[in-house]
Amino acid sequence: MGEAANQSGTEYVEIDHPWASHQHMPIYEYTIPADATDESLDAFLRARDEWAKQAHYPVAWLVDLSNVTKSTARQRRVFAAHLKGFQEHAAQWNGGSALIAPSGWLRGLVTAVFWIWPPKFAYQMFAKRTDALEWAQMRLDAKIAECRARSQVQSPR
C-alpha cells in the first residue's frame, strides 16, 4: 500500500483497491462501477476497514455513484453494515461525504442505505463532480479547523 505526504508532514494512507482514487487526498474518492459484484464490494469494504486502522487524520469523501445501474438488497445491507461499523472513525475524522448521484433512482438508493443506517456525519448529494469536490473541500477545511481547535483545548488537571 502506498503513502503520500502532504505539506504539513501528515502521511496520507491510500486505500488499496482499484475503485479508490487518491488524487485529492485527504479527500478520498471512490467510484462504484456498474458491474460491482458482491465479491468486489466486499473487497472494497475490507480495504476501507484496513485503511481506517491507519488513517487518523481529517478526511472528506467523494463517492461517485453515477455508474451504479443496479444494487442488490444484499449489497445495500452490507454497505449499511459497513457504515455502521465505520461510525467511530467517521465521527472522529470524516468532515463530510459528497455523493454524486445524478438521477432520482440513485438518490433513492442512497436514501434506502441511509434509512437502514442514518449516518452521523455530514453528507450531501450532487449531480456534478465539480460541485461535490468543492463541497468536500469546504467540509474538510472545517474538520481540520475543528481538530486543531480540539487539540488546543487543555484537559482539566
| Domain ranges, ordered by start, for the chain | 15-146
**Per-residue pLDDT tens for 49-97?**
999 999 999 999 999 999 887 888 898 889 888 988 888 899 999 999 9
- What mean pLDDT is predicted for residues 111-136? 89
Strand partners for 107: none
Q: How confident is the model at residue 105 (pLDDT cuts 50, 70, 90)?
A: confident
Backbone φ and ψ for 95, nearest 5 degrees, come out as -75, -30
Rounded to 10 degrees, what is the CA torsion of 59, 14, 115, 138?
30
Residue 18 has pLDDT above 60, yes or no: yes
What CA–CA distance (Å, rounded) separates 58 from 81?
22
Please tell me the CATH superfamily of domain 15-146, with its number.
STAS domain (3.30.750.24)
What pLDDT band is residue 119 in, cutting at 50, 70 and 90?
confident
Alpha carbon of residue 62 to chain centroid: 6
Burial 64-93 (b: 16+ CB within 10 A, else e): bbbebeebeeebbebbbebbeebeebbeeb
For the chain, give me the number of helices (H) and strands (E)? Answer: 5, 7
C-alpha separations of 12 from 25, 26, 71 in Å: 7, 7, 31
- Give the predicted TM-score (pTM) of the model: 0.85
Band the pLDDT of 5: cuts 50, 70, 90: very low
